[in-house]
Amino acid sequence: MDFLHDLGALYQVVFTKVDTVNRTELEKQIEKARDVALNAKRMSMNPVIQVTSVKERFGIKELQRQLVSMTGLLANQRL
C-alpha cells in the first residue's frame, strides 16, 4: 500500500475468495484494513473495503460498480 500511496495511484482493498476463510479471521482482517484506511493518511486509498466470493456469487457486481466509479470509466453506462 505504501508503494501505491507514494505513486498517488487510486487503489482499493478487496478480499477475494472469502468463502474459503473462517468468518472470525475474515472479520479481523477487514478490521485491520479499515484501521489502515481510516488512521493512516492514505488519501489515494478508497475507504470502501470490498468482499467477494465467486463461488457464493457474492460481491462481484458491487466490486465492478465500485471500480467503474473510482476510474470514471463508462460514466454514462449502467452495469
CA angle (5, 10, 15) in 5-degree steps? 95
Give the pLDDT band of residue 75 (cuts 50, 70, 90).
low
The amino acid present at 64, given as its one-letter code, is Q
CA angle (50, 17, 30) in 5-degree steps? 45
**Range scoring the smallest mean pLDDT among 15-29, 32-46, 61-75:** 32-46
And the C-alpha cell for 8?
498517488
Check: CB of residue 70 under 8 Å from CB of residue 33. no
